[in-house]
A and B are shown apart, each in its own frame.
Chain A
């Protein structure tokens, strides 16, 4: 027998996994050929790992960001409000910090 509490626990857990199918805050990693050459893949993987480790509802996506090659890898944070912030010359280490920073805001925004 399934209890209502168990049903709700499944709902909340899986909803989080399905967050990337819903509109909301995004962390967009500039990929593209030059982005990949500058290490964007490592940045993206580190961002996804950090999001998962923190259980954040932040969604990480890849895109072809229009950024100067010397500023790559670049990451754009799109807040649930739509406000955008661009971060340049990002590394795997710095993107982890970024995830921590924006996840806090993201969760506050999501809760409010």
Chain B
């Protein structure tokens, strides 16, 4: 028997992989070998811990010490101090923003304290490539319970009791979706996992696939049992190579162990899974486009009804759920629908994972009970806005969602509360913006995205988003015209009402939301040719305020095109002809002597 006395968990999610976690674990192993510790200490590469900005993250048990931004050069110190001498290496621990003392334990960090990890329960906690670790965390117990002790109808009832709603954006009750698919009579049915995560900045589905792939396999098998399907497909984008690799390993392990295949746990039920790779088109997250793509055709949507539950993959009844939705299901079957329904709000049960990004101190993945306020997410978990800047807005729901200003910070995050204030839950992207963000430019960014991703099948989306983007581009270029706002509103309504699928129907949302709360910024761009946030370059004109300038020369040195001239201790001048409006001078000036 191995004499293992310590486990080193190295985050090997995509975020930490890109910041060099592999080099860290190699350096740790090398140092352990040098000190003869490699037979008593085990390195485990896990999925995402969620705290991506602090990566690479290394957690050492049994102490549970949570080390952040570890480099290969830190490995020797961690091995000799922590593993050999039993001393915590304080300099690598996390320090709260403004806090003096480092925090040793993961659960004591503010970022994690308000979280309740259900969908992410195993991410960062287990070796994602080891089926036995998943089993040790009660993995496959829900499947065993369902196929041996429950009828398919009882499993669906449990799901309905839980109140779980689709986490991909639609928010449709999952139990009812399963019921529809179960009610359709056919010899052949399919279960599909929609892992075509495409919202800019969102990566919760990727993290679940990377950190806990067996939970998706188990949930899909449960779905197969409940609706009467024997085959499932995970549709995942090829841009997620680590997720695809870990899922492939997990499926193989489940097959070899006899968890996938015929007579699962001695029952008559059999189920198997395949992976289908997508090329990363945003529209393929729409279920009918996804089906088309799996079938080997171009990923474009088709009108509904018939819904996939009636006529889906290869015209057979198909149940499609998103990754995060599936990740909740084994726990619901195991602990009961009432347990899940005890979390959240009246109409939005359970928890929701958000990808926290933008102008915020703690970026990463957070999972909170439904009903948590935006303020708690942004300030208590996210640690607030960097550089002491003011909060301006947060974008929820990705390109289909809306921007909420500071007065809505106490909005409860659940499906209905967000819709009531003109935004939406979406798949869980949450982008925080500070005072230096131009809301017209934000709308232009999202329109550029949806216009680019429009499949072109229906005219309102193909042509309408193009025209809207043109208008937004001219406004941000200082060429906005009288009537542009009204034209944007008119186009938005037409596109929303006439587009074929969710992509087009929601594409105008960022424009409508920013117009609702930040109309004055549009008006300033069009009427005064001014960008209040100082972002739209065409509307900026840099000049040095003579009274404030001390002649320190820092701006002159920072200017990449030598557009600033002046002698030491005398006010400087910007040559507007040469200025490229890069803002380097503003960033350097210690006296706030440059206006734009």
Contact = CB atoms under 8 A, between A and B. Distances in A.
A21 B141 CA distance: 21
Given A3-B265, A3-B266, A20-B6, A61 B63 contact: yes
A29 B140 contact: no
Given A1-B261, A11-B135, A30 B266 contact: no
A97 B366 CA distance: 46
Interface stretch (A44-52, A82-90, A103-111): A44-52
B352 to A, nearest CB: 26
Nearest to A20: B62
B113 interface: no
Interface residues of B, number: 38
Contacts of A49: 3
Interface size class, chain A? 20 to 34
Contact of B136 (A11, A20, A29, A52): A11
Contact of B85 (A10, A20, A32): A32
A18 interface: yes
Main secondary structure of the interface of A (DSSP, over half): helix
B1 A1 contact: no
Nearest to B261: A1
B85 A48 contact: no
B259 A2 contact: yes
A3 B140 CA distance: 11
A48 B7 CA distance: 14
Contacts of B125: 21
Nearest to A47: B5
B85 A7 contact: no
A74 B406 CA distance: 56
B257 interface: yes
B133 interface: yes
9 contacts: A1-B261, A11-B141, A20-B6, A20-B7, A21-B64, A32-B87, A35-B85, A48-B3, A61-B62
Interface of A: 1-4, 7, 10-11, 14-15, 17-18, 20-21, 26, 28-33, 35-36, 44-45, 48-49, 52-53, 59-64
Given A3-B265, A48-B4, 14 more contacts: A1-B262, A3-B266, A4-B265, A7-B135, A11-B135, A11-B141, A20-B5, A20-B6, A21-B7, A28-B86, A48-B5, A52-B2, A62-B85, A63-B63
